[in-house]
Amino acid sequence: MGPLIAYDHISSNTNFLLAFIIGIGFGFVLESSGFSSSRKLAGVFYGYDTVVLKVFFTGAITAAVGLLFFSLFGWIDLNIIYINPTYLTSAILGGVIMGLGFIMGGFCPGTSFCAASIGKIDAMVFIGGLFIGILIFGEGYPLWESVFNAKFMGAPKLSTSLGLSDGVFTLIMIVAALAMFWVGEWAEKKFPQKEY
């Protein structure tokens, strides 16, 4: 039964090794999918390329369905899966800051490292900005600590917060994803990328 490390099926070192291998695989898939291109990533916001939306929604659905069935088969204990604690104010502010950075730079943190690994200068500049932001946040933490820790909500699951079972929530997420795929296809036809 999983999680593997929680039940001592694997050691911490093996866990880190697996994370390293999976990370390399994830980076390879990102680059193979074209996610090292800031134009492709920015295309989501402008409507001309929704591949990013489709890939990440597909990943979320695959993970949700996989966890749901693994739980039903008794292969994983969802009660001990780590869920990041929610600090609502900082989550909203962080989302706005990251969203603005994503729109302006054309990268998120993961895709910027993916692009930098193949030598893209704009991604390296983006990573430089990322580290400057980390430094400013870390050094100035006492100034905004109260904002960062505001509205602590524990570690709720969205399905629990909505009063739904995990299965019903997963079904709703699949339907929402299919709707988003349809909207993405419509947007790509409505706002085709201009060739320069």
What sign does the dihedral 158-162-165-171 (CA atoms) show? negative
Angle at 180 between CA 178 and CA 181, to 5 degrees: 65
| Whole-number pLDDT of residue 194 | 66
Q: How many CA atoms lie within 13 A of 185 on its CB side?
A: 5
**Tens digit of pLDDT at every position of the chain (196 positions):** 667 777 777 888 888 999 999 988 888 888 888 888 888 877 887 788 888 888 888 888 999 999 999 988 888 888 888 888 999 999 999 999 888 888 888 888 888 888 898 899 989 999 999 999 999 999 999 998 999 999 998 888 888 888 999 899 999 999 999 998 998 888 888 887 765 4
Which residues on neighbouring strands pair with residue 76, listed in sequence order?
A: 2
Measured CA to CA, the distance from residue 36 to residue 115 in angstroms comes to 4
| Whole-number pLDDT of residue 5 | 72
Give the three-state DSSP class for 2: strand
Give me the domain span that covers residue 106. 84-155
Domain membership of residue 113 (yes or no) is yes
| Whole-number pLDDT of residue 196 | 45
Domain membership of residue 151 (yes or no) is yes
Say which residues have a Cβ less than 8 Å from residue 112's Cβ, sequence separation at least 6: 105, 123, 126, 127, 130
- Find out whether 115 and 36 touch, Cβ atoms under 8 Å: yes
Say which residues have a Cβ less than 8 Å from residue 154's Cβ, sequence separation at least 6: 85, 86
Instruction: Give me the number of domains the chain comprises.
Output: 1
Domain membership of residue 71 (yes or no) is no
Q: Judge if pTM exceeds 0.85.
A: no
Domain membership of residue 109 (yes or no) is yes
Phi, psi for 87 (deg, rounded to 5): -115, 100
Domain membership of residue 27 (yes or no) is no
Q: What does the block give as tokens for 65? A: 């369905």
| Whole-number pLDDT of residue 195 | 59
Domain membership of residue 102 (yes or no) is yes
- Find out whether 46 and 123 touch, Cβ atoms under 8 Å: no
Domain membership of residue 127 (yes or no) is yes
Domain membership of residue 142 (yes or no) is yes
